[in-house]
Structure 1
Amino acid sequence: MSTAISFTKGHGTGNDFVIVPDADGELHLTDDQVAALCDRRFGVGADGLLRVVRAAAIAEGAAATAAGVEWFMDYRNADGSAAEMCGNGVRVFARYLTAVGWADAEAGPVLIGTRAGVKPVTVHERGFEVDLGTFRIDESEVLVRARHLDVARPGIGVDVGNPHVVVALPSHSELTGIDLSRAPQLEPAPSSGANVEFVVPSDPLVHEGTGGITMRVFERGVGETLSCGTGVAAAALAVRHWAGAAAPDVWQVGVPGGELGVRVVDVGGEPHVLLAGPATLVFSGEIALA
């Protein structure tokens, strides 16, 4: 027996999602059901699923509820596994809330509960901007191996609410030549895995006060995606760290699906990283849930 559920398809720079409204938390999706919905041949097709649920209706939303936040983004990777955060997803989530009238972005920041804490999302000239919060850079060297990468390269760990390893490459030809149909191998391997970003700095690195990079990403639980919002932020933070004290706080990052903006700002005496970019709703429909 199957049940029909409503959904909306959305994306942020090609990083796409199945959005499932479940305001009262009545829908309990298994990993297999999420994977089936995200399947590009037999389902809707997406890099992940965003369940739109009131924070009070999900156990993981307790902290958000205590902070007075109404909505929680229950984000699941394409294989069904839960993830802490999604920078593109949270902007698409905000777009959905405003489109259906569950939030008013013009009235001020839309506060969204996630497994990585409450994230404020505001209207921006690029679309929406999310404050991802504080970040942490781990300089412990991680060796990264990938298909068609001639030798293992050192990577740096960056945590922006979820884990990343960023690798710098010298040329665009090397960036485009990597085969990301298989997961890069990390040594030592993080206990919870990590998203892996391969980055080429622009030449010049800084133009009119804005840093520039181009990147590709392999997302854990998904594979290569056209964009990864938290990965974009992590990549900009890594290159900013490598560039030293004179590095800018504003970055433009090119991904296969488009461009996103990253800013580092002071919030309450702590550096926060902000991510700005488009968020688009494509179509809505119903699908049978096995």
Structure 2
Amino acid sequence: MTSPHLDPERQSAAQQQLSGLRFTKGHGTGNDFVLVEDQRGDIELTPDHVRVLTDRHLGIGGDGLIRVVRSQELLEGRDLLEAAPDAEWFMDYRNGDGSIAEMCGNGVRVFVHYLAQRGLVQLAEGGAVTIGTRAGARTVRRTAHGYAIDMGPWSYIDEELALERAADSLVLAAGLQDPRPALSISMGNPHTVVALAEDMELDGLDLHQVPNVDPAPPHGTNVEFVVPAEPLVQEGVGRLRMRVHERGVGETQSCGTGACAAAAAVRAWAGDAGSDQWIVDVPGGAVGVEFVPGPDGAEHVVLSGPAELVFDGQMP
């Protein structure tokens, strides 16, 4: 869950340090972000700064913060450029509590939409651009209704245990009477997926509280609760509903990597009854997930959906 407000003295100090900072507010299916353009990497954003900017009561409000910076200006970006020289731009992503995150699928769409709208990249419909993230380079293609991202390969966090038992942990959330079996998936960041039997269970969860995951992942995890559609697959496309508690944030309206992880888990549970194409319904809308052969021989996940820039502003 997002950390409480800073104490008044730290809040005031951080606000003064941010005076004059220009920003943009954007979202992808309700997963919202504060974007700060910092092409040369001159702006130092501390955890306190991020918490002030993303605070929904005392700041702008957002699930996270995205710093728009050239890859060459960051150590992680320079390392990435050696393998992906086309990744000129780096998505420096922070969770709402100020912690650094590896990846955010909805954030990537919003980040690329910002680059395109501001003329920092030329990206016509059907065109593609490569950007850097802490989970590696990602290729994003512009579509008629948004953006599609090759999220890279997915994997089980504990493959041997997952294949043996189809579950590797137990999760208890507020609103559930008993712990439920879960499957842990990596999308460059950690996810724990829990299947529920019906919509009523999903709607009754209180995800303002952090779900208890046993065994507890060493660096935390995003937790997705899903209800597969009935029938699961129609005309070759699977469908499921999802709610998510994001590590370092709390419940969000959508989570791109979480949607990919949820589809991967449901597909694994479904076996031959599953599909390689999915629609994942989230509180903020719907995203598409497709499993495709990757150029590295591994199975990749492609995430698609809309992105919007809502407004620009400047800190007082």
Q: TM-score over 0.5 for the alignment?
A: yes
- How far did residue 246 of structure 1 move? 4.2
Identify the residue that residue 315 of structure 2 maps to in structure 1: 287
- How far did residue 125 of structure 1 move? 3.2
Does structure 2 conserve the Cα–Cα contact (< 8 Å) formed by 1:64 and 1:72? no
Q: Deviations over 1:256-276 (max 9, x none)?
A: 000000000012232100100
User: Partner of 1:105: helix, strand, or coil?
Assistant: coil
Identify the residue that residue 35 of structure 2 maps to in structure 1: 19
How many corresponding residue pairs?
A: 288
Residues of 2 paired with 1:110 and 1:20: CA distance? 20
Identify the residue that residue 273 of structure 1 maps to in structure 2: 301
Q: Deviations over 1:42-74 (max 9, x none)?
A: 111000000000001011112332221210000
Structure 2: which amino acid aligns with 1:4? Answer: G
Residues of 1 paired with 2:270 and 2:112: CA distance? 33
Structure 1: which amino acid aligns with 2:73? Answer: A
Is 1:91 equivalent to 2:139 in the alignment?
A: no
- How far did residue 245 of structure 1 move? 3.3
- TM-score normalised over the length of structure 2: 0.89
Identify the residue that residue 105 of structure 1 maps to in structure 2: 123
What aligned pairs does 1:110-125 form with structure 2 within 5 A after superposition?
A: 110-125=129-144
Is 1:8 equivalent to 2:36 in the alignment?
A: no
Identity %: 54
Q: Deviations over 1:207-259 (max 9, x none)?
A: 00000000100001000000000000100010001111342100001000000
Which protein is richer in strand relative to its size? 1
Identify the residue that residue 185 of structure 1 maps to in structure 2: 212
Structure 1: which amino acid aligns with 2:250? Answer: G
- How far did residue 184 of structure 1 move? 0.1
Q: Structure 2: where are the runs of 5+ without partners? A: 1-15
Q: Structure 1: where are the runs of 5+ without partners? A: none
Residues of 1 paired with 2:208 and 2:260: CA distance? 23
Does structure 2 conserve the Cα–Cα contact (< 8 Å) formed by 1:64 and 1:70? no
Residues of 1 paired with 2:284 and 2:218: CA distance? 29
Does structure 2 conserve the Cα–Cα contact (< 8 Å) formed by 1:158 and 1:166? yes
Residue 234 (structure 2) aligned to one of 207, 210, 232: 207
Structure 2: which amino acid aligns with 1:47? Answer: D
What aligned pairs does 1:246-265 form with structure 2 within 5 A after superposition?
A: 246-265=273-292
Q: CA RMSD in A?
A: 1.1
Structure 2: which amino acid aligns with 1:91? Answer: R
The change in CA–CA distance for 1:237 and 1:125 in structure 2 (over 3 A counts) is farther
Structure 2: which amino acid aligns with 1:10? Answer: G
